[in-house]
Every structure is written in structure tokens, then in C-alpha cells.
């Protein structure tokens, strides 16, 4: 599972989060168009330029534009300038697709070998769907870019003594078709850092910005932003006028940054200004302002492309997020609505894809982004020339929403308020899968699922009423009293058929009670379609509970050995850890049913830190003596 990926935060020397726009377009380079003169084979003549009329310029031909590359969960696709879509690569089992770029007609990708543990990444060249290994890097925090005939790989490796060490390698294909490793910019990068120039590890990394703007973007310890050429000579520098800022986007002309101002030092009484800084003149102007009381006016930047800022605003309609995407002209100040995109209930909808926003790209005058339909997830394109305000799904999907083959998703959403104190106490969003009537015993199964949803709604109501009983008049009048609203969300995770007549329905949930973060939870159901009955491990497992505890402990120990970094008890003796797993195991423990076996689920904090998420231990059915025909 992807939340097993230990996404540790790499430090950034500039301590700024930013991006440089969207797409991977380059300015077309013009080359002189030449034609061959007719020549005699026995007396070859030098090529002559085609004659032009007086005052006419020689014809020029723009450099061919690389296609846009889009990376999904299952597939990597490309879009040509003419809008043709091609599927370039489909992931193999257990792989996790991270990044991809195109260079000189070759697809280059970063692929984790195991989606459950993405520490080992492969840098690959892909031709006709076949992978060629270029390098293997033991860290998933990688940025790649193709520039001037080489694939550049920026990555970091951590050790306990020295912390993170950042590397910038390049790989060039030699005459023997193998890739040779070099360091064309590593020495320059190291030299500039000695001169107090520092670089963001994240987007835009050094090579991405260099390819896009023909400059190296850097930061100095005294807060300046600077650009240098490929020899390390400074081209320009600028100083942002505000303090305590967060850079949102930067290019040669502009830096877009946000400033958070607190009222009387009270952090929750904040005002945010989105400021545009002209890198060449040093002039600044505030584009948007909102505060804690006007969140509906909040602006989320997507990209700065030329003189255009692309941003979105989010609102909720019936519990489902909807985004409106706009363009803002940085010269005239004019705003133009582009399109709207909304999420859908069910897997891939409410959590995984931010509609109209995820993987936003500007390419050849159109806008591309991750999208969701009733039956699949993939990508959509919006062409401003149509003026419809809605994007169209691309013909190549990323993955099917498999639950749609078996039924549909209903949901309940809303909020609960304390009318006496005018406080919103709880918000909730709870989905319920409904099996299609064409399946045997659908009514009986749906009744169980509907009842479970109602019990969740009742739990929310009871929790809200309990909270209301704790609120005093002093609390309600204290402006600093802001623990609410709490939230309760449950979304459909997966629906599958197991064997010939078993149906599994899995839910993912998240509950927030205040504090730094909420807590994830899961619910799993297994039904026999022949009877409509809900089943548990007790109905399928025929051996003793002692044997079950031993199997769980042995498989857990194996994962503990292979992935010690995700466990609290990694330093303990194996015998002690085995006994702990054994004592904790039972036929009532959290588990789900998959096609090949059960999966034991250890909750966050049970054996590992919150950031690791659920620790999953797969156990094959044949080991347990279970048969699902």
C-alpha cells in the first residue's frame, strides 16, 4: 500500500516551497532552412541557400516540440501538440510509478520496484514499453529532467552522521548504446554553494529551471533570489520586500509569494496576502488578500506561465469538493474563469484526486489535469477556445474504478451545530456501497451496509451531543477557543469478487478530534453471495487460534526483519518481538480479505509511527488452510 512509503521530508537549503509553472515546453529554436541544389554525381557542388525575394527573410522552421508526459497510478501516457494521446508504459505488478520525462523521443521514468516499500528506485529508459535500467538509487526522493542530450537525476541519500547529501548526476547514451554517468553540473553546484548560493531540492530543481529559462535559480543566506548562467556568473538578483514569506512560484520576470500576518500575535487571527514581485524592477503589488473569516476568498496558486497566474478556489457542494480554476493577467490585472471540476464519490474520488488541480499542466494552449469519471480515473483536457467551462476526458484511461462493475456509491454529508453558542461542532461525510440488484441476495447485503452507515451517522450525532455538553459560556465567548469543527469521514476503498461467490467491501476512514492530525481507520466486510450472509475469519478458518497466532507472528517477524525502519521495536531481540506479535494476534484482529490471502493490518502507533500509516502483513490462504472456491 502506498501509505507504507516512508515519505521522509528532505531539507531544502533555501527553506522555500515553490514551483516554476507548468508543462515542459521550451521556446522554439529557429534554424535556417536550407535546400539542396541539384548536383552532378561526378562534380558535387556545395549546398546553396534558396533564393529569396528582396527584403524577404529566409524561411525558418521551429524545433519539434516534445510531447507532454503524464504519469498516473497505472500508466504513463503522452500527448502530442496535435492532441494525439499515446499509452507509453503500463506498470508491472507491485511497481509504483513516480516520475517520467521525454527526451529525444525516449521515455525516461523513475519507478519504485515495490509500491509497499519505495526506498529502492529504478531510473529507466523505456522504448516500446520495454525498460532499460540506467541506474538504481536507494531513495525515492528523486527529480529527473532531460536537458541537452542527457538525463539529469537529482537525489539525496541520508546517513545518521552527515544527514542528507544531495547529488546531481547525468547519464548520456554512448556509441555502444549504454548510458555513461557524468557530473556536468555537480561541480558547478558545489562551487556555487561555497559562494553562498543555495538551491531548492524540490520543483523547480536546478536542471528543470535551467531548461525552462536558460538560467540557474539560486538563493542566498540573506534572503535574496538570484539567477546565474551555466558558467556561474550572476545575471540578476532581487530581494523580496516582505518578511516571513512563502514562495509560491518564480520565473525570470516574477516571484509570487504569500505573507501570513498575525493579529496581535494570535496565530489563528491571520491575514494572508498573495504578493507579486517583479524580479527585474523590484516593484511589488498585492494581488489577493483573505483572512480567517473570509476563507471563501482564499486563492491557491497553480502556476505562473509567462504573464499569467493560474489559480483555483475551492468550495464544497453536498459534501463533495469542487474547484473553479482561473487565470489572472499579471500585467492588466484581469481575471478570467477557465473551468470547473468536481470530485465524485467512491475510490479515487474524494481523497486521491483534487479535481481540476492534481498534476495541472499548461501545454500548447490547453490545460491538462488528473480527472475522474463514473467508471475510471485518468486525465482531462480543457481547451479555452471551446469556452464550455468543462474539461473532456482523454481517450486513454489510467485505471478503472472497479467498484462500478458491481454497484454504486451513495453518501450522506452535513454538519452539526450547537445553536446555543453558534458553533459548528462536527462535519461528516459517510459513503455506503450498494450492490447492483442483478446480483444474488443484493437486497440482504445492501441492508447490512445501509445499517452500518446509519450506525456511523448515529455515532457522529452522539459524539457531537457529548461535545456540546462540555462547552461553557466562557469557552464560547473566548475567541481563542477554536477546537471545532471535528470531522468524521468514511469513503469506499475497494470492492472485489473473491472466488466464485464471495464479495469483499472495504472502507477507509479518517476522524479528527483536534490537535496536529486526525486518526485513520478502516472497516472491512466479506459476504457470501449465495446466502447474503456476512462472513468473518471464524467462518473460513478451521484450525486452532494458537496456530493462527503463530502464523501471524512468523509473517510479522519476517516483515520486521525486512523493514526495520518502520517499527518502534526494531532494536529488540527477535524472540521478544515474536512473543509480542504472538500475544497481540487473535481471530478478532483487524484484517481484510484479498484474492490471494488475508492481510493483517496494524494501525498507526500500534507498532510504528503515525507517518508510516497501516503496517500490512499479507498471509496466503493456503498457509491458513482456507479455500475460496
Residues 70-87: tens digit of each pLDDT: 999 999 999 999 999 999
pLDDT band at 244 (very low <50, low <70, confident <90, very high): confident
Handedness of CA 593, 594, 600, 601 (dihedral sign): negative
Average of pLDDT values for 559-585? 93
Q: What confidence category does residue 147 fall into, taking pLDDT thresholds of 50, 70 and 90?
A: very high
**How much is the pLDDT for 355?**
87
Residue 176's pLDDT band (boundaries 50, 70, 90)? Answer: confident
**Do you find a cis peptide bond into 204, omega within 30 degrees of 0?**
yes
Domain with CATH 3.30.565.40 in the chain: 408-535
**3-state secondary structure (DSSP) of residue 553:** helix
Say whether pLDDT at 124 is over 80: yes
Q: Quickly name the fold that domain 408-535 has.
A: Heat Shock Protein 90 (3.30.565)
What confidence category does residue 162 fall into, taking pLDDT thresholds of 50, 70 and 90? low
Provide DSSP, 12-47. -TT----B--SS---PPPEEE---PPP-BTTB----
For residues 247 and 222, the answer to whether their CB atoms sit within 8 Å is no
pLDDT, average across residues 379-395: 92
- Name the pairing type of β-strands 486-498 and 423-435: parallel
Q: Which of 66, 64, 62 is nearest to 31 (CA)?
A: 62
Distance of CA 524 to the CA centre of its chain: 26
Query: What pLDDT shows up at residue 513?
Result: 85
Residue 405 DSSP one-character state: G
Confidence of residue 51 (pLDDT cuts 50, 70, 90): very low
- Res 263 pLDDT > 60: yes
SS3 283: coil
Mean pLDDT, the chain, rounded, equals 86
- Give 539's DSSP letter: G
* Residue range(s) of every CATH 3.90.640.20 domain in the chain: 539-629
Domain 539-629: which CATH number of 3.90.640.20, 3.50.50.60, 3.40.190.10, 2.60.40.10: 3.90.640.20
Q: Averaged over 98-113, what is the pLDDT?
A: 94
What is the pLDDT, as a whole number, of residue 13?
31
CB 504 within 8 A of CB 601: no
- What pLDDT score does 42 carry? 37
Which neighbouring-strand residues pair with 207?
A: none
Give the helix/strand (H/E) hosting 213: helix 206-213
Distance CA 215, CA 202 (A): 16
Which residues lie closer than 8 Å to 385 by C-beta, 6 or more apart? Answer: 365
Q: What is the pLDDT of residue 515?
A: 77
Q: What nine digits make up the cell of 270?
A: 491571520
Query: Which of 218-222, 469-473, 493-497, 554-558 has the lowest average pLDDT?
Result: 469-473
Q: Is a pLDDT exceeding 70 seen at residue 19?
A: no
For 196-237, write each residue's pLDDT tens digit.
998 876 546 788 888 999 999 999 988 899 999 999 999 999
- Residue 519, helix vs strand vs coil: strand
Residue 391 has pLDDT above 80, yes or no: yes
Nearest-angstrom CA–CA distance, 31 and 59: 9
What pLDDT does residue 190 have? 87
Say what the pTM is. Answer: 0.82
Amino acid at each position: 500500500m502506498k501509505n507504507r512509503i516512508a515519505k521522509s521530508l528532505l531539507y531544502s537549503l533555501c527553506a522555500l516551497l515553490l514551483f516554476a509553472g507548468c508543462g515542459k515546453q521550451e521556446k522554439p529554436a529557429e534554424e535556417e532552412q536550407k535546400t539542396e541544389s541539384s548536383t552532378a554525381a561526378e562534380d558535387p557542388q556545395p549546398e546553396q541557400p534558396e533564393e529569396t525575394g528582396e527584403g524577404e527573410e529566409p524561411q525558418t522552421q521551429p524545433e519539434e516540440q516534445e510531447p507532454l508526459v503524464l504519469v498516473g497510478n497505472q500508466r504513463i501516457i503522452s500527448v502530442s501538440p496535435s492532441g494525439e494521446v499515446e499509452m507509453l508504459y503500463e506498470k508491472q505488478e507491485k511497481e509504483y510509478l513516480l516520475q517520467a520525462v521525454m527526451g529525444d523521443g525516449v521515455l525516461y521514468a523513475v519507478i519504485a520496484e515495490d509500491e509497499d516499500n519505495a526506498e529502492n528506485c529504478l531510473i529507466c529508459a523505456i522504448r516500446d514499453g520495454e525498460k532499460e535500467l540506467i541506474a538504481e538509487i536507494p531513495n525515492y526522493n528523486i527529480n529527473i529532467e532531460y536537458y541537452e542530450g542527457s538525463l539529469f537525476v537529482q537525489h539525496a541519500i541520508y546517513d545518521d552522521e552527515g544527514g542528507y547529501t544531495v547529488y546531481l548526476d547525468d547519464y548520456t547514451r554512448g556509441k555502444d548504446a549504454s548510458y555513461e554517468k557524468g557530473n556536468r553540473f555537480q561541480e558547478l553546484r558545489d562551487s556555487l554553494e561555497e559562494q553562498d548560493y543555495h538551491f531548492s531540492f524540490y520543483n523547480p530543481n536546478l536542471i528543470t529551471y535551467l531548461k525552462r529559462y536558460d538560467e540557474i535559480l539560486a538563493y542566498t543566506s540573506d534572503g535574496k533570489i538570484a539567477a546565474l548562467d551555466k558558467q556561474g556568473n550572476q545575471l540578476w538578483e532581487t530581494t523580496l520586500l516582505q518578511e516571513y514569506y512563502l514562495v509560491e512560484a518564480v520565473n525570470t520576470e516574477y516571484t509570487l509569494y504569500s505573507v501570513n500576518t498575525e493579529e496581535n500575535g494570535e496565530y489563528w487571527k491571520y491575514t494572508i496576502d498573495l504578493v507579486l514581485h517583479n524580479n527585474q524592477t523590484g516593484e511589488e503589488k498585492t494581488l489577493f488578500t483573505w483572512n480567517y473569516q473570509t476563507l471563501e476568498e482564499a486563492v491557491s496558486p497553480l502556476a505562473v506561465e509567462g504573464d499569467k497566474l493560474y489559480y483555483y478556489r475551492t468550495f464544497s457542494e453536498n459534501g463533495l469538493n469542487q474547484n473553479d480554476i482561473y487565470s489572472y493577467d499579471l500585467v492588466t490585472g484581469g481575471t478570467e474563469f477557465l473551468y470547473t471540476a468536481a470530485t465524485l464519490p467512491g475510490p479515487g474520488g474524494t481523497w486521491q484526486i483534487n479535481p481540476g488541480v492534481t498534476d495541472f499542466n499548461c501545454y500548447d494552449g490547453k490545460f491538462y489535469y488528473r480527472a475522474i469519471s463514473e467508471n475510471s480515473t485518468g486525465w482531462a483536457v480543457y481547451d479555452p477556445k471551446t469556452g464550455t467551462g468543462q474539461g473532456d476526458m482523454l481517450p486513454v484511461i489510467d485505471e478503472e474504478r472497479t467498484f462500478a462493475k458491481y454497484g454504486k456509491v451513495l453518501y450522506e454529508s452535513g454538519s452539526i451545530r450547537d445553536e446555543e453558542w453558534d458553533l459548528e461542532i462536527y462535519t461528516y461525510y459517510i459513503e455506503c456501497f450498494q450492490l447492483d440488484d442483478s446480483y444474488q441476495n443484493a437486497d440482504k447485503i445492501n441492508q447490512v451496509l445501509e445499517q452500518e452507515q446509519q450506525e456511523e451517522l448515529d455515532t457522529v450525532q452522539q459524539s457531537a451531543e457529548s461535545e456540546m455538553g462540555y462547552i461553557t459560556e466562557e469557552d464560547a465567548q473566548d475567541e481563542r477557543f477554536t477546537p471545532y469543527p471535528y470531522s468524521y469521514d468514511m469513503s469506499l476503498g475497494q470492492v472485489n469478487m473473491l472466488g466464485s461467490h464471495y464479495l469483499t467491501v472495504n472502507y477507509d476512514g479518517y476522524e479528527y478530534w483536534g490537535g496536529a492530525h486526525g486518526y485513520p481507520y478502516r472497516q472491512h466486510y466479506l459476504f457470501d453471495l449465495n446466502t447474503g450472509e456476512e462472513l468473518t475469519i471464524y467462518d473460513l478458518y478451521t484450525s486452532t487460534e494458537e496456530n493462527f497466532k503463530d502464523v501471524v507472528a512468523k509473517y510479522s517477524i519476517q516483515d520486521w526483519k525486512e523493514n526495520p525502519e518502520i517499527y518502534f521495536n526494531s532494536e529488540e531481540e527477535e524472540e521478544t518481538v515474536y512473543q509480542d506479535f504472538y500475544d497481540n494476534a487473535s481471530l478478532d484482529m483487524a484484517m481484510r480479505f484479498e484474492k490471494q490471502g488475508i492481510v493483517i493490518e496494524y494501525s498507526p502507533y500500534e507498532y510504528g509511527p503515525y507517518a508510516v500509516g497501516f503496517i500490512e502483513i499479507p498471509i496466503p490462504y493456503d498457509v491458513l488452510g482456507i479455500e475460496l472456491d
